[in-house]
């Protein structure tokens, strides 16, 4: 066995306990082989020093638009609708494939540096994103975001055909690290007709569906007034809700919609930072967890966050979940950590998010020997409330090292930064 031996640290187990121990990774299979303190280690295993560190599952960013790193800080302090129409969409209309590649490479570098090993991405020019994922060693579920509002039928169909063709072509790419999804942009920006035409085709091909849903009240009201149903009942009518579907945001969901998610086995992806920054509202996360809904966490795009650091998202989820529930015991540290790991993995349909034999060998090692993670009363609390992306020392995905001792190995970070700056400057000039 071609092995990686993550040695000398503490390990976060799936039940939330922390043990002193090591992790043996089978690199050929890309899976965790053993966890414990008396593992038989192959003589030729490569050792990764985790002394003074905590081995955690690689974090799962279950909803993002990674290439939007190019627009980080381009327009802030505006509500969703104005921000999209006045700032984001005009610039996105000028996007070239090389922009998407540059933004994706920057975002991937940022995610690897902060311990994220997998993400779900909905955007344009997704073959560019797929190439970056392939070269970076990360894991991702990718979909071309299809929009039909403001388009004639030919253009709308063409957009969905692009989405479907991408999903079919890239599913299983990069030795299986890339999977795909059909991603109608949202319940309001895609006409009913196209849901009815394309969702069945995705189902038939075994491709999950991922949609923005119930993000703002502005998105809820038109559906209620036009269809007479709550948005998720409408989505159910369109066959969007299925066990492999996952919905981004779910901020304004009522009790009936939460029950519907639970019944259908459809996951929600909570994006607390984006929801705060756009003043969209507070998702009822504890209520969703109580109902048995699978909840993952996402950063959303860097333009509405403004970073891709899942430790921020974890902390925001725990914090905001308490305010939303008006209960300081809601969304506790363990729940937040689960959403960022096993919850997100379940939402996007990958066998990651837990340090356990058989699971994908996607993990990160967090350096505990810093003032802000001292003293060690409770390391799960530290993960939720005090750790940050910069505490990540090593990142491993599919059994391979993506970052070692804070040096990213699969992306040339300086080159990625320079290219992103150059493309962003030119992009904004074109759009002006």
233 binds a copy of itself (CB under 8 A): no
409 binds a copy of itself (CB under 8 A): no
203 binds a copy of itself (CB under 8 A): no
- 227 membership: H or E segment, kind and range: helix 217-227
What sign has the CA pseudo-torsion 213, 360, 12, 402? negative
What is the β-pairing status of strands 139-146 and 183-184? parallel
382 binds a copy of itself (CB under 8 A): yes
3-state secondary structure of 54: strand
Exactly one of 322, 354, 393, 394 binds a copy of itself (CB under 8 A); that residue is 322
- Cα 308 from Cα 366, distance rounded (Å): 17
Rg (C-alpha) for the chain, rounded Å, is 21
Report the nearest approach of a copy of itself to the CB of residue 192 (Å): 29
Site for a copy of itself in 245-304 (CB under 8 A): 273, 276-279, 281-282, 302
Helix-then-strand count for the chain, H and E? 16, 18
193 vs 374 by CB, closer to a copy of itself: 374
Pick from 223, 202, 200, 91: nearest CA to 144: 202
Pick from 136, 247, 137: nearest CA to 186: 247
Query: ω before 375 within 30° of 0 (cis)?
Result: yes
3-state secondary structure of 39: coil
Residue 179 bridge partners (DSSP): 141
- Cα 314 from Cα 48, distance rounded (Å): 26
107 vs 143 by CB, closer to a copy of itself: 107
429 binds a copy of itself (CB under 8 A): no
69 vs 188 by CB, closer to a copy of itself: 69
101 vs 106 by CB, closer to a copy of itself: 106
384 binds a copy of itself (CB under 8 A): yes
Site for a copy of itself in 327-346 (CB under 8 A): 327-330, 332-333
- 166 membership: H or E segment, kind and range: helix 153-170
Exactly one of 151, 390, 400, 431 binds a copy of itself (CB under 8 A); that residue is 390
Exactly one of 66, 187, 308, 364 binds a copy of itself (CB under 8 A); that residue is 308
Record the tokens describing residue 253, joined without a space: 């969901």
16 vs 42 by CB, closer to a copy of itself: 16
Site for a copy of itself in 175-194 (CB under 8 A): none
With contacts defined by CB under 8 A, name the span among 28-36, 143-151, 342-350, 381-389 that binds a copy of itself. 381-389
Report the nearest approach of a copy of itself to the CB of residue 319 (Å): 4
196 vs 372 by CB, closer to a copy of itself: 372
76 binds a copy of itself (CB under 8 A): yes
**Residue 176, C-beta contacts closer than 8 angstroms, at least 6 positions apart:** none
Pick from 90, 198, 183: nearest CA to 143: 183
81 vs 263 by CB, closer to a copy of itself: 81
Site for a copy of itself in 97-156 (CB under 8 A): 106-107, 109-110, 113-114
3 vs 132 by CB, closer to a copy of itself: 132
DSSP string covering 338-400: HIIIIIHHHHHT-S-SS-STTSB--EEEEE--SGGG-S-S-HHHHHHHT--GGGEEEEEETTE
Exactly one of 125, 219, 236, 307 binds a copy of itself (CB under 8 A); that residue is 307
90 binds a copy of itself (CB under 8 A): no
Exactly one of 45, 202, 253, 420 binds a copy of itself (CB under 8 A); that residue is 420
224 vs 323 by CB, closer to a copy of itself: 323
Q: What is the number of alpha carbons within 13 Å of residue 268 lying toward its C-beta?
A: 30
Report the nearest approach of a copy of itself to the CB of residue 392 (Å): 11
């Amino acid at each position: 066995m071609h092995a990686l031996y993550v040695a000398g640290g503490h390990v976060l187990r799936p039940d939330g306990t922390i043990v002193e121990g090591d992790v043996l990774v089978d690199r050929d299979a890309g899976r965790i082989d053993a966890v414990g303190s008396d593992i038989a280690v192959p003589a030729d295993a490569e050792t990764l020093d985790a002394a003074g560190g905590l081995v955690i599952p690689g974090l799962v960013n279950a909803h993002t638009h990674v290439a939007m790193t190019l627009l980080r800080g381009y327009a802030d302090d505006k509500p969703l609708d104005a921000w999209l129409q006045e700032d984001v969409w005009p610039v996105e209309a000028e996007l070239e494939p090389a922009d998407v590649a540059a933004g994706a490479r920057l975002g991937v570098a940022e995610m690897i540096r902060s311990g994220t090993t997998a993400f779900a991405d909905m955007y344009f020019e997704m073959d560019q994103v797929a190439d970056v994922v392939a070269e970076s060693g990360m894991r991702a579920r990718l979909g071309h975001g299809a929009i039909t509002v403001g388009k004639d039928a030919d253009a709308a169909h063409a957009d969905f055909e692009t989405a479907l063709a991408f999903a079919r072509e890239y599913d299983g790419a990069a030795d299986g690290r890339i999977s795909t999804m059909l991603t109608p942009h949202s319940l309001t920006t895609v006409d009913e007709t196209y849901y009815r035409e394309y969702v069945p085709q995705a189902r038939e091909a075994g491709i999950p569906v991922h949609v923005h849903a119930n993000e703002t009240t502005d998105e809820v009201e038109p559906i209620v007034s036009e269809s007479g149903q709550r948005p998720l009942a409408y989505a159910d009518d369109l066959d969007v809700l299925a066990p492999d579907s996952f919905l981004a945001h779910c901020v304004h969901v009522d009790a009936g919609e939460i029950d519907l998610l639970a019944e259908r086995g459809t996951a929600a992806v909570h994006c607390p930072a984006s929801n705060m920054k756009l003043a969209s509202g507070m998702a009822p996360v504890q209520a969703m967890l109580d109902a048995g809904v699978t909840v993952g966490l996402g950063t959303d795009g860097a333009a509405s966050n403004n970073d891709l650091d899942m430790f921020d998202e974890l902390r925001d989820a725990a914090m905001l979940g308490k305010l939303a529930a008006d209960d300081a015991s809601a969304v506790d540290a363990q729940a937040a950590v689960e959403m960022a790991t096993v919850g997100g993995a379940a939402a996007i349909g990958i066998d990651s998010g837990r340090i356990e034999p058989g699971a994908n060998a996607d993990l990160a090692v967090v350096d505990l020997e810093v003032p802000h993670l001292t003293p060690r009363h409770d390391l799960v609390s530290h993960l939720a409330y005090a750790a940050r992306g910069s505490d990540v020392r090593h990142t491993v995905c599919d059994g391979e090292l993506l970052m070692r001792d804070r040096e990213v190995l699969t992306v040339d970070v300086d080159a990625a930064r320079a290219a992103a700056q150059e493309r962003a400057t030119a992009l904004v000039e074109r759009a002006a």
